[in-house]
Amino acid sequence: MKNRKKKRRKNAGYNPLPTLLLIALVIPISLAWMRQNGALLRTTGEHAALLAAALDMPREGLDLLRERFREELYLPGQEDEASSAPSPSAPDAPQWPAAPDRLESSTPEEAPAPDKSSATAPKIPLAYRGQILSENFATGGSTALVAFEAGFIKNDTRHTDQEVAAILETPFDLDFTDTGEPQVLIVHTHATEAFERYDSEYYDTRNTWRSQDNNLNMVSVGAAMAEVLEQNGIGVIHDTTQHDYPSYNGSYERSAATIRKYLTEYPSIKVVLDLHRDAMERENDTIVKPVAVIDGKKAAQIMIIAACDDDGSLGVPEYRKNLRFAAALQSYMASDYRDLTRPVFFSYRKYNMDLSPGSLLLEFGSNANTLEEAVYAAQLSGQALASLIKDHIKS
Tell me which residue of 109, 214, 182, 167 sits closest to 324, measured CA to CA.
167
State mean pLDDT over 124-149.
89
Residues facing 184 on adjacent strands: 236, 271
Domains in the chain, ordered, with CATH? Answer: 15-77 (no CATH), 132-391 (3.40.630.40)
Q: pLDDT band for position 351 (50/70/90)?
A: very high
State mean pLDDT over 20-29.
51
Q: How far apart are the first and last CA of the chain?
A: 107
- The mean pLDDT of the chain is 78
The pLDDT assigned to 344 comes to 97
Q: Are 372 and 218 in contact (CB under 8 A)?
A: no
Q: Are 95 and 280 in contact (CB under 8 A)?
A: yes
State mean pLDDT over 356-361.
96
- How do 359-366 and 281-282 pair as beta strands? unpaired
The pLDDT assigned to 24 comes to 53
Q: Compute CA distances 160 → 76, 144, 344, 360, whole Å.
A: 54, 12, 16, 22
Q: pLDDT band for position 142 (50/70/90)?
A: low
Which of 7-16, 22-31, 101-110 is the most confident on average?
22-31
The pLDDT assigned to 260 comes to 98
Return the percentage of the chain with pLDDT > 90, whole number: 66
pLDDT tens-digit readout, 71-116: 332 222 222 222 222 232 333 333 333 333 433 333 323 333 443 4
pLDDT tens-digit readout, 179-237: 999 999 999 999 999 999 999 999 999 999 999 999 999 999 999 999 999 999 999 99
**Residue 298 confidence (pLDDT) above 70:** yes
The pLDDT assigned to 25 comes to 54
The pLDDT assigned to 140 comes to 72
The pLDDT assigned to 394 comes to 86
pLDDT tens-digit readout, 238-263: 999 999 999 999 999 999 999 999 99
**Residue 69 confidence (pLDDT) above 90:** no
